[in-house]
A and B are shown apart, each in its own frame.
Chain A
Amino acid sequence: MDLSLSESELAFQAEARAWLAANVPAEPLPSMDTEAGWKAHQEWEARLAEARWAVVSWPREYHGREASLVEWVVFEEEYYRAGAPGRVSQNGIFLLAPIIFDHGTREQQDRFLPSMATGEQVWAQCWSEPEAGSDLASLRSTARRDEARGGWVLNGQKTWSSRASFAHWGFGLFRSDPEAQRHAGLTYFLFPLDADGITVRPIAQLDGEAGFAEVFFEDVFVPDSDVLGAPGDGWRVAMSTAGNERGLSLRSPGRFCAAADRLVDLYRSTVADGATPAATETAPAHVVDAWLRAQSYRLYTWGTVTRLAAGGDMGTAGSVNKVFWSELDIALHETALDLLGADAEVESRWLDGYTFSLSGPIYAGTNEIQRNIVAERILGLPREPKGAGR
């Protein structure tokens, strides 16, 4: 049992740190949910890709550097420690790409992965529907076979699709066999969001920015070459994405460790300034707890990485992870707002982070659903009688 990095991992870390120190923008970029911010984030992605830091674990031909899992986590730690911008491409590179690698054709890999890595094509996840949130398998949007044209015709509506307001491509599930029960008969499609028949309507989030959107489909044609995996096999394909979303990829520990360090700094400075009342009562304990939970998350991740590197899979551990990081993220930011006292309501990076953290227990499978999974699949407790919430 040890936590030391090898020579080559240390060299990788040093290279990443040096590049980030030289390249991370001095000023935070404007929000990616605005026109200007979107462009700035796309440019940042291009810069990352050019230096092969956008997708470190990918093959070299797709802008990667074939980094190991350990190196990937090391990079993420450095990335957030350096205060680098949020990743506008994250849905594509963290949620879709693993599926394209596993289930996509070589042609799909060549066609989609390079432009995803450079941020030229940004992807939106189109899973949720107005009537299908937690109960995703109840989705109603349809795909009708069009034999003559060699493809499928999509109809229906998706919603809460992050970054779809500006994104270029979408990936999502449609019911391709109306006769089949729930999980069967779903197919996984890739489609350009400017295709004929697609309408994207931005939805403002709590902070007023159009962070997600509804996507309407009216007789949208998708050729067979844009079906991911086998027709009718969409649920299985999609569930391998869900594991990635809850697990390692979206919420690497670096984010929380960096935020916890900033929180300690905030505590230091507010105490030095003459503590706000909140800072002298509950805040000190909350600062410590946020810091130690971030450390716990970091160490837990190294354990997961060790097991994955030895050939294990995430399995249900992703659900344990998801509840923990989402609650940690809120606690970190709430504590910061406590320390800020009356200034907590004034626009700041902490307030932005807080507002975003509130969505953590909702997206990527709500925490209630994750707790059901932990209870049923890890603790082995009996299923709900009506089969709800797996």
Chain B
Amino acid sequence: MRFVLTEDQRDFGGSLDALLSGADTVGAARAWAEGDTAPGLELWRRLAEQGVNALVVPEEHGGMGATAVELVVAFEALGRHGVPGPWVESAAYLPLALADADLLAALAEGAVGTVAEAAHAPYALDAEVADHVFSCTGTTLRTATRGERLRSVDRTRHLTTLVAGDPVPGADLGAALESAVLATSAQLLGCGERLLDDAVAYVKQRRQFGREIGSYQAIKHALADVRIALDFARPLVLGAALGEVPAAAAKVACADAAYLASRTALQVHGAVGYTQELDLSIWITKVRALVTAWGTPAQHRAALLETLVAAAGTPVEA
């Protein structure tokens, strides 16, 4: 029993953090929002070199065959740095949903893929930059072509409707969905951590009424609650990665915690937090989008409840 990251897993997270801290991820996100995807795709390429895209692609198809734990470590870093692009789709969902060896190898190498999953993610993310576009309805995976463009609350997320084409042989669509939900949870956790960091840094230097606003208890308690919410969302992400709890549990907790982080970060910043110019806006809007991406909290709660109620033999004597 060792419920902490191994040294290798921590090193992997650390190396991604270092790479992303040194790359202008905010610049890439802002450019992406304006329709210039070149810096974001350059970042994509560099992350692919680190193996992020290949993590859960099976080894026989050129992947790393890593566990879901490495996947969540990577997605927390992507969230923390606000990296744009269809990462969940390319690196978490499609590697498990597809059966085609060539496609899997291409994804592992860094090809961009996207997918719309009717029940949980009905609009395809960033289809305009995708080399491979799929749609999934029920238990059928199909090729797809781009339809209408929609605007997301997160300006770095370009959504489109899809027109479904021919069925393609799918692998394990259930596992793919779990993986996408888990990756989104980890991304939310990373966003929440970033929002808290930025909020803490700000309240330590902003002064009103003659002292740092961070010395006021109303501010302290709000931020302490964010710390507590994130601290208790993380074990569900890691627990879900180990199969202890469904990914839905992680998604509900991370969505709640990250959303609390975003609301609190905005509030403690005051008006400047309400501007697009401040980088905080990148994470505030991303969290709102991710709260409903890959299944709304209501959907996940309902699914969890169904599982719990159906599970026979929970101890009644307690």
Interface residues of A (CB under 8 A from B): 1-6, 9, 24, 70, 80-83, 258-259, 261-262, 264-265, 267-268, 271, 284-285, 287-289, 291-293, 295-297, 299-300, 302-303, 305-307, 320, 323-324, 368, 370-372, 374-376, 378-385, 389
User: In the assembled complex, how far is the CB of residue A28 from the closest CB belonging to chain B, in whole angstroms?
Assistant: 11
In the assembled complex, the Cα of A271 lies from the Cα of B308 at a distance in Å of: 13
In the assembled complex, the Cα of A268 lies from the Cα of B308 at a distance in Å of: 9
Contact A284 B3 (CB under 8 A): no
In the assembled complex, the Cα of A9 lies from the Cα of B214 at a distance in Å of: 46
Give every chain A residue within 8 A of B308 (Cβ-Cβ).
Answer: 264, 287-288, 291
Do A1 and B236 contact each other (CB < 8 Å), given the known contacts A374-B224, A383-B215?
no
In the assembled complex, the Cα of A372 lies from the Cα of B222 at a distance in Å of: 10
Give every chain B residue within 8 A of A287 (Cβ-Cβ).
Answer: 305, 308
In the assembled complex, the Cα of A81 lies from the Cα of B316 at a distance in Å of: 9
Known contacts A2-B2, A379-B223, A380-B204, then 18 further A-B pairs from the complex at CB < 8 Å, ordered by chain A residue? A2-B3, A3-B1, A3-B3, A3-B239, A9-B1, A24-B317, A70-B1, A83-B317, A292-B245, A296-B249, A300-B235, A307-B4, A320-B232, A374-B224, A381-B203, A381-B220, A382-B212, A382-B215
In the assembled complex, the Cα of A261 lies from the Cα of B234 at a distance in Å of: 22
B149 located at the interface, meaning its Cβ lies under 8 Å from any Cβ of chain A in the complex: no
User: In the assembled complex, how far is the CB of residue B244 from the closest CB belonging to chain A, in whole angstroms?
Assistant: 6
Give B280-318 interface residues, CB cut-off 8 Å to A.
Answer: 298, 301-302, 304-305, 308-309, 311, 314-318
B238 located at the interface, meaning its Cβ lies under 8 Å from any Cβ of chain A in the complex: yes
Give every chain A residue within 8 A of B4 (Cβ-Cβ).
Answer: 1, 303, 306-307
In the assembled complex, the Cα of A31 lies from the Cα of B233 at a distance in Å of: 35
Contact B3 A296 (CB under 8 A): no
Contact A303 B3 (CB under 8 A): yes
Interface residues of B (CB under 8 A from A): 1-6, 9, 69, 196, 200, 203-204, 211-212, 214-215, 217, 219-221, 223-225, 227-228, 231-236, 238-239, 242, 244-245, 249, 252-253, 298, 301-302, 304-305, 308-309, 311, 314-318
Contact A284 B231 (CB under 8 A): no
Q: Which of B3, B6, B249, B309 contacts A264 (CB 8 A)?
A: B309
Do A368 and B221 contact each other (CB < 8 Å), given the known contacts A70-B1, A295-B245, A303-B3?
yes
Contact A296 B232 (CB under 8 A): yes
User: In the assembled complex, how far is the CB of residue A239 from the closest CB belonging to chain B, in whole angstroms?
Assistant: 20
The chain B residue with its CB closest to the CB of A69 is B1
Q: Which of A1, A70, A261 contacts B6 (CB 8 A)?
A: A1
Give every chain A residue within 8 A of B304 (Cβ-Cβ).
Answer: 288, 291-292
Q: Which of A82, A83, A324, A384 contacts B232 (CB 8 A)?
A: A324
In the assembled complex, the Cα of A193 lies from the Cα of B204 at a distance in Å of: 48
Give every chain B residue within 8 A of A381 (Cβ-Cβ).
Answer: 200, 203-204, 212, 214-215, 219-220, 223
In this complex, the member of B196, B232, B242, B304 whose beta carbon has the largest number of chain A beta carbons within 10 angstroms is: B232
Contact A268 B252 (CB under 8 A): no
The chain B residue with its CB closest to the CB of A259 is B318
User: In the assembled complex, how far is the CB of residue B233 from the closest CB belonging to chain A, in whole angstroms?
Assistant: 7
Contact B204 A382 (CB under 8 A): yes
Contact B235 A323 (CB under 8 A): no
Contact B309 A271 (CB under 8 A): yes
Contact B215 A374 (CB under 8 A): no
Q: List 26 A-B contacts (CB under 8 A).
A: A3-B239, A24-B317, A81-B315, A81-B318, A83-B317, A83-B318, A265-B316, A267-B305, A287-B305, A296-B232, A296-B236, A296-B253, A299-B245, A300-B231, A302-B3, A303-B235, A303-B238, A324-B231, A374-B227, A379-B196, A379-B223, A380-B200, A381-B214, A381-B220, A381-B223, A384-B215
In the assembled complex, the Cα of A271 lies from the Cα of B316 at a distance in Å of: 16
Contact A320 B305 (CB under 8 A): no
User: In the assembled complex, how far is the CB of residue B209 from the closest CB belonging to chain A, in whole angstroms?
Assistant: 11
Do A284 and B305 contact each other (CB < 8 Å), given the known contacts A1-B242, A264-B314?
yes
Do A292 and B236 contact each other (CB < 8 Å), given the known contacts A284-B301, A299-B3?
yes
The chain B residue with its CB closest to the CB of A378 is B227
Do A296 and B235 contact each other (CB < 8 Å), given the known contacts A2-B2, A3-B244, A288-B305?
yes
Give every chain B residue within 8 A of A261 (Cβ-Cβ).
Answer: 314-315, 318
Contact B3 A1 (CB under 8 A): yes
Give every chain A residue within 8 A of B239 (Cβ-Cβ).
Answer: 3, 295-296, 299
The chain A residue with its CB closest to the CB of B232 is A296
In the assembled complex, the Cα of A381 lies from the Cα of B217 at a distance in Å of: 10
Do A288 and B252 contact each other (CB < 8 Å), given the known contacts A258-B315, A306-B4, A384-B217?
yes
